[in-house]
A and B are shown apart, each in its own frame.
Chain A
Amino acid sequence: MLTVDRSFGFLDPRTKLLLLVTLPTFLLGGAGGEYLKPFCMGFSVLPFVLLFISRNYLPAVSGFLVFMLMQFAGMIIPRDAGGLVHNVFLILYEVLCLLLPCGIMAAFIMRTTTVGEFIAAMEKLKVPQFITIPFSVMFRFFPTIMEEYRSIGRAMKMRGITPGKVGIAGFIEYRIVPVMMSVVIIANELSAAALTKGLGGKIKRTCIHRLGFGFADFLLIALCVTALLLFVLSLFDVRLW
């Protein structure tokens, strides 16, 4: 009997969705400020841990090292040196520091969620099809866009089209326009193929991937909910510490 590889996605897609909302809220939105700093630190490390557990050892470890290095750099960079360049650099650094965990989280979710799981999860959350289907196509489209983008980059290299020769604007145009072209063509053919497989019918879909919350799910959901709850309470000046 065939089994579906569960190690592929050990978290329920709904948990991942919650993480995808919670992480930026605290890291980028800065919810809770100093008060919820411990949570922020936890959330920063979490994506690397998840990536590691899902057997993406190399990016997990190297990503974490980069992150730690940046943290360390943050400690030794003088904060009050003044000057425009210094400030711009500082802002860029801060944004990168906060963005990195969110980016890693997104990468983790993209790599470990199958389209089928995603659609099933969205259906359980009663999200209508006209939202689910475009989003589900996205999962498949990132690798496609990357493939097309690389191929076009090669063609430009061969033609000798460099920013030096055609200008930055021209370079971007030459790179982006053909990508858009082929993406539109592929999207068109893809929709046709999906329709001949009965996507978008009036029948309730099933899913070969078993959805369900496990221990890890409960743990992470508890973490997210606690953090969000503390944040909401802190808005009403209710603080635990």
Chain B
Amino acid sequence: MLKLKDVSFTYVCQSGYIAEDRGPVSNVTGTSETAKSAQSGTADISENSESGTGGRILNSFNLNLKKGEFVLLTGASGCGKTTVLRLINGLIPRYYPGKVEGCIEINGEDISGRELYEISRSVGTVFQNPRSQFFNVDTTSEMAFACENQGLDPKEILKRISVTAGKFNIEKLLNRNLFKLSGGEKQKIACAATDVTGTEVILLDEPSANLDHDASLDLRRLMEKWKSEGKTIVVSEHRLAYLWGLPDRLVIMKNGIIDRVMEKNELDTVTPEILASMGLRTNVMENPVNMDLPDIAEADTSISLRNFSFRYHNGIFRKSKYSRNFGYDDVRIALNRITAVTGANGIGKTTFLNCLCGLEDNCRGVVEYDCIKLDSRERRKKFFMVMQDVNHQLFSESVWEELMLCFTGRNISDAEKDRTASEVLKKLDLYEYRDRHPMSLSGGQKQRVAIACALCSDRDFLLFDEPTSGLDQSHMLSVSALLKSLRDAGKTIVVVTHDSELIRCCCDRKIVLKRL
């Protein structure tokens, strides 16, 4: 059905970070010699431990899928998972240029001479980021889009959409504005759009990166349906837990080659410890909402949020029917602790942080700190949020300038500024990057630059919005270590997250947001 034979890929560098936000280019060189190959009767995935090909992202990659097979690709960031998917859906080399060797076959046909629109008839892709995979503004058009491009009869397309909507139980989401859906709903629409096309091969590139516990289980259900229909599925993913039990094969990649292949029978006996030893995330699903952490302990000193509420207005245009409002009478956040904030997708976690930070005008209520009431303006001076998309909060041309920006308007001598900034940079392992442009750094480094800004502007409260979405095990652990060290330095930390592993690793307290 789907066959990649001795496929190698060498990236032709485009203009840097624009092509790849968190891509494989920077951290992959060469191949590992210690790779183990695995082979079995029906499936044959093997790898060639040819070494010393610098700059190659993928090296002699072999993958052979029969119809109806489900393969899960995993491995550290930058190991080449996404590259494999792009090779199969044809974006490499047709959209992302580079040198491809070897042969890729779908249904026994070599796709090398095919145009993208021809490949799109047999391969459908669900991408990671919901904000950049929809071409339309409303859901129904998006679901029809691929079929319209194939020139199918509109009646047939509408029939297919209603079949898919019934199958996935998403009738409620039809004819809605995509920009008003939650992350989980958007990802359902992305899957539904692929389903309407009816392609035999379905690729999913980290589809759960922005999903909470329940939404990822919903995603699993959709994949189960596809599996039972005999679709051939390849998923690239860090979070293994929600998928566990579905894949027929787990392919662990490392530096552009296959490090290890585990078959179904082997997968059944794997424990989280074995996975952790291979640098992978756990396979045990845990709902952050049910995790056993107190929201506040007796001994804690805390800040109180009283009559905290927010109403979602929609500019001058009609107020949205699906507006998200929330209100809390009394929430306490423990000082000098790491508090996890969880809750379903679309419940308003980010809005909650924005309100706490004093960034929302429609927010009512007071925050009490040491018996002093803080209004929005005062909160803006005490709280700092590391946003989910850190690109939004870095403005300067170098890391150093970025930090100097934190001092503007404050009465500090230049020597003092230099000293503080150098100290903070050294603490966060950023000192050697102080002259680099923030946008040329990796995702984790950008995150640390934002934290450095918070430290330089002397904020006591650090808020994090999904700091580990789409991160592999080792990066998740380093975020967790960083949070702990910030706590130990006396900061109060609030983390919005649905990453139960992160909560397990570092959080002391937990607040669950609920729908009113």
Q: Which residues of A contact B (CB under 8 A)?
A: 1-5, 8, 55-59, 62, 111, 114-116, 136-137, 139-140, 143-144, 147-148, 151-152, 154-161, 164-166, 174, 177-178, 181-182, 184-186, 188-210
Contact = CB atoms under 8 A, between A and B. Distances in A.
A143 B136 CA distance: 11
Among B115, B383, B384, the one with the most A-chain Cβ atoms within 10 Å of its Cβ is B115
Top 8 closest pairs, chain A to chain B, by CB? A201-B117, A189-B132, A155-B393, A198-B120, A198-B149, A197-B146, A2-B162, A198-B117
Interface in B395-421: 395, 405-406, 408-409
A42 B319 CA distance: 29
A188 B358 CA distance: 33
Contacts of B500: none
Given A196-B120, A202-B115, A208-B144, 9 more contacts: A3-B158, A154-B354, A155-B387, A159-B405, A189-B133, A197-B146, A197-B149, A199-B145, A206-B147
A8 B177 CA distance: 11
B359 A157 contact: yes
B377 to A, nearest CB: 10
A82 B355 CA distance: 49
B116 A115 contact: no
Interface string B128-150: 01011111111011001111111
Contacts of A193: 125, 127, 132-135
Interface stretch (B1-9, B88-96, B301-309, B481-489): B88-96
B317 interface: yes
B294 interface: no
A160 B381 contact: yes
Given A140-B134, A140-B135, A151-B392, A205 B157 contact: no
A1 B162 contact: yes
Contacts of B52: none
Interface of B: 18-19, 21, 89-91, 94-96, 115-121, 123-125, 127, 129, 131-138, 140-141, 144-154, 157-159, 161-162, 165, 174-175, 179, 193, 197, 316-319, 354, 357-359, 380-381, 383-385, 387, 389, 391-395, 405-406, 408-409, 439, 453, 457
B95 A195 contact: yes
Given A157-B380, A158-B393, A197-B149, A192 B175 contact: no
Given A147-B179, A159-B453, A197-B120, A115 B136 contact: yes
Given A178-B392, A182-B392, A184-B18, A159 B140 contact: no
B394 A178 contact: yes
10 contacts: A3-B158, A4-B158, A8-B175, A58-B317, A115-B141, A160-B457, A197-B135, A198-B149, A199-B149, A208-B161
A207 B148 contact: yes
A198 B145 CA distance: 9
B186 to A, nearest CB: 12
Contacts of A166: 405, 408
A143 B137 contact: yes
